[in-house]
Amino acid sequence: MTGFRGDVSNYAGPKTLDSGGPILLQAASIGDFEGYVSWGAGLSRPGCANVTAGGSTLTFHFVPVP
């Protein structure tokens, strides 16, 4: 994700978030450098992400690859 401030840390929450979902197992903060914030997603099987945006919220819905 881009467009964040490059002179401060943009995310101060936990580095990893666990999920009880059937596809998403864990999400992890993997980078915050010069206005770019990166996350990784650990899936239980191959999948694709469907992303929707509303206000300041991004929602990621992972679906299995057919």
pLDDT at 26 over 90: yes
What is the domain count for the chain? 1
Q: Please check whether residue 22 lies inside any domain of the structure.
A: yes
Q: Average model confidence (pLDDT) for the chain?
A: 89
The answer to whether position 11 is within a domain reads no
* pTM > 0.85: yes or no: no
Confidence at 42, pLDDT banded by 50, 70, 90: very high
Q: Is residue 37 part of a domain?
A: yes
Q: Would residue 6 count as lying in a domain?
A: no
Is 7 part of any domain? no
Is 20 a domain residue?
Answer: yes
Residue 27 has pLDDT above 90, yes or no: yes
Helix (H, G, I), strand (E, B), or coil: what is residue 45?
coil
Domain region containing 28? 16-64
Asked if residue 52 belongs to a domain, the reply is yes
Instruction: Tell which phi-psi region holds residue 7, choosing left (phi > 0), alpha (psi between -120 and 50) or beta.
Output: alpha
